[in-house]
Amino acid sequence: MRSLRESGTVAVAIAAVLLVGCYDNQHIAAGPGGSGGLSSTGGVAGGAGTAGDSGGAPTSGGGSTLPTGGMTGIAGTSGTGGIAGSSGTSGIAGSSGTGGIAGTSGTSGIAGSSGSVGGAMGMACPSTDPVVGGSLIRPNGTSYLNVSIPVSVTSVTPTSEPFDGKRAFQTITLTSAASEIWTFHVGMVDLPANLLTPGETVTLDVAYSSGVPVVTLSRAGRLVIFLYDYHAFMGPFLPDLSKFGVNVTDDGVSCTNAYSSCSLNLHRARVTVGGASQAVAPGTSATLGSLTVVLDRYQHSDCFDPDQALVIGGWQTP
């Protein structure tokens, strides 16, 4: 701005020389205006132009009045508008969450194998040979009542019977004090031949259980041999051997034979002697100490014919 002031002073001096003596008493206009400020870049408004220096005092002189005031200052250049700020970059949209992986469906269970085909007519129980059998022949005229008498062993004779299977049969002849002859025919698998000695005295007991006798021979209160052969429409009823310390109970169904209109269930028998107890399946035997028990069959049936049966026997060694 110093150069502008200097040019204004020179112009006054020149005007004074030219107009000496001819100017009127009017004032001289203000000195030239300063240059307008440069506009600021980037949106800053241009600074206001500097005001021109004041013109010199009016000089008196003759002649016409000629305004010699300073020139009006150039208006400052308007500031360039600021550059609009760039709009903020839009945020990147969040990635959508990946859906959970669908659970793998459970593998279907493998179908169970079909059961084996049953036997003919649905026979699930194995066929077994008879293992127990027998009978007691009373003397003529003897009533079918309970009997407990001493008898003498007359003879023990091995015998054979049709369809005896695995049974070892013996015919035991017994004579009472009244000379009555009792014939005990008995067969069991593995029945020893030397349980009784001809000439010795034993006790014969015939105890009826629902019409069917339990036949026992004992020596001095100790069981030697027994037989129970039950077949009827009702029952079957279990033999009572409690006087010899032997207990026989039902141990449940072992197998079932199914027919067209009915079924037959074979059961196990449980034998208990003292603190020992064992289940016996049809067609098998069990030994508890010195006592052996053989179960031929133990069956319940809803068929019409008399198929309620329990055939069991046993012996006790000395």
Domain count, the chain: 2
Q: Are 64 and 154 part of one and the same domain?
A: no
**CA–CA distance, 35 with 52 (Å, rounded to integer):** 8
Q: Are 309 and 230 part of one and the same domain?
A: yes
Mean pLDDT is highest, among 123-137, 171-185, 299-313, for 171-185
Question: What's the rounded mean pLDDT across residues 206-234?
Answer: 89
Q: Measuring CA to CA, which residue among 288, 168, 166 is closest to residue 223?
A: 288
Which of 40, 57, 80 delimits the end of a domain? Answer: 80
Higher-confidence residue: 158 or 260?
158
pTM (2 d.p.): 0.60
Question: What's the rounded mean pLDDT across residues 144-172?
Answer: 84
Q: Are 247 and 154 part of one and the same domain?
A: yes
Burial zone of 58 (CB within 10 Å; 0-12 exposed, 13-18 middle, 19+ buried)? middle
Q: Are 251 and 147 part of one and the same domain?
A: yes
Q: Are 165 and 274 part of one and the same domain?
A: yes
Q: What is the pLDDT of residues 59-82, one digit of tens each?
A: 443 333 333 344 444 444 444 444
Q: Are 243 and 152 part of one and the same domain?
A: yes
Residue range of the domain that includes 166: 132-316
Domain assignment of residue 122, yes or no: no
**CA–CA distance, 21 with 161 (Å, rounded to integer):** 188
Could you tell me where the beta strands, DSSP code E, fall in 165-211? 167-176, 181-189, 201-209
Domain assignment of residue 112, yes or no: no
Query: Which of 49-58, 147-156, 165-174, 177-186 shows the lowest per-residue confidence on average (mean pLDDT)?
Result: 49-58
Q: What is the pLDDT of residues 181-205, one digit of tens each?
A: 999 999 998 999 999 999 999 999 9
Higher-confidence residue: 101 or 225?
225
Domain assignment of residue 193, yes or no: yes
